Amino acid sequence: MENQDIPPKIDSTVPVIDIRDLYKSFDDLEVLKGVDLTVYKGENVVVLGRSGSGKSVLIKILVGLLKPDKGDVRVLGQKVDMLEEKELNALRLRIGFSFQSSALYDSMNIRQNLEFPLKMNRKNISRKEINRAVEEVLNAVGLEDKVDQMPAELSGGQRKRIGIARTLILKPEIMLYDEPTAGLDPITSFEINNLINQMQLKYNTSSIIITHDLTCAKETGDRVGMFVEGKFTKVGKFEDVFDTNDEHVKGFYNYNFIQ
């Protein structure tokens, strides 16, 4: 794959996501119990954890869909829970979300799926600009020849790629990937991991990648955070996070790699 040997441009002086002492409960259920995390400009950070550990709640707080009970959450310099609706919508346009299901519209062909967010959010965009943007993102994900096909005609991996392309078409500064390799065979998962790394290099995005897949975590994460019982036990390089006697962390590793 191209650009594999070029390191990403990470600026550790510029935090794009900064979370401090974050708590969130639902009635008597404590979900987030003092979360701390910083994501720097140009960095891929992987969030690992079992189902129900609070990863999706964390993401919803980041984009303002849920409010924290306590703590400070800043995204691109803005305190998310203090934003008015108009400001929050403007911030969300700077954040791309790649859904686990790809979230394509089955009744639209690939071109129409890619054009939709542009037409919704760039009211004065010209047809020439739309065509150029569609061509650029399709080229970026290597699916230029699929532009007139329907989602049902694509493989699972191709739908993932188109979902990422549709997110990238608005040129977000932050990418949030939700289980990007879920349900994919090992070869297709390898291709998606490479694509995530290529998008980091090409667009200099900062990303949070939520996954259960340790191979995905190892291949895409500049840093990895292991999420256990509502907070991060450790955030660092993949090898450092799993160099531990913590039974929660060791159990997660063994479940993935020792079947």
**Each residue's pLDDT tens digit, 113-128:** 999 999 988 888 999 9
Percent of the chain with pLDDT over 70: 95
Kindly report, residue by residue over 162-195, the tens digit of the pLDDT: 999 999 999 999 999 988 998 888 998 999 999 9
Same domain (yes/no): 117, 245: no
Average pLDDT over residues 208-236: 92
The overall pTM is greater than 0.75 = yes
Same domain (yes/no): 184, 73: yes
Same domain (yes/no): 212, 224: yes
Domain boundary among 171, 194, 211: 171
8 — pLDDT class (breaks 50, 70, 90): confident
Neighbours of 120 (CB within 10 A): 9
Residue 133's pLDDT is: 94
248 — pLDDT class (breaks 50, 70, 90): confident
Same domain (yes/no): 139, 189: no
Same domain (yes/no): 75, 182: yes
Residue 103's pLDDT is: 79
- What CATH number is attached to the domain comprising 210? 3.40.50.300
Domain region containing 187: 1-94+173-259
Residue 99's pLDDT is: 74
pLDDT at 222 over 50: yes
Same domain (yes/no): 8, 85: yes
Residue 259's pLDDT is: 46
Kindly report, residue by residue over 66-107, the tens digit of the pLDDT: 999 999 999 999 999 999 999 999 999 999 988 776 778 899
Domain boundary among 171, 200, 221: 171
Residue 2's pLDDT is: 47
Same domain (yes/no): 167, 179: no
Same domain (yes/no): 130, 232: no
Same domain (yes/no): 155, 210: no
Same domain (yes/no): 216, 88: yes
Contact 141, 194 (CB under 8 A): no
Dist CA 232 CA 93 (whole Å): 28
pLDDT at 253 over 90: no
Dist CA 226 CA 47 (whole Å): 6
Same domain (yes/no): 130, 37: no
pLDDT at 244 over 90: no
Dist CA 86 CA 109 (whole Å): 31
Same domain (yes/no): 86, 107: no
Domain boundary among 171, 186, 207: 171
Dist CA 21 CA 132 (whole Å): 43
CB-side exposure of 143: number of CA atoms within 13 Å? 29
Residue 89's pLDDT is: 92
- pLDDT averaged over every residue in the chain: 89
The count of structural domains within the chain is: 2
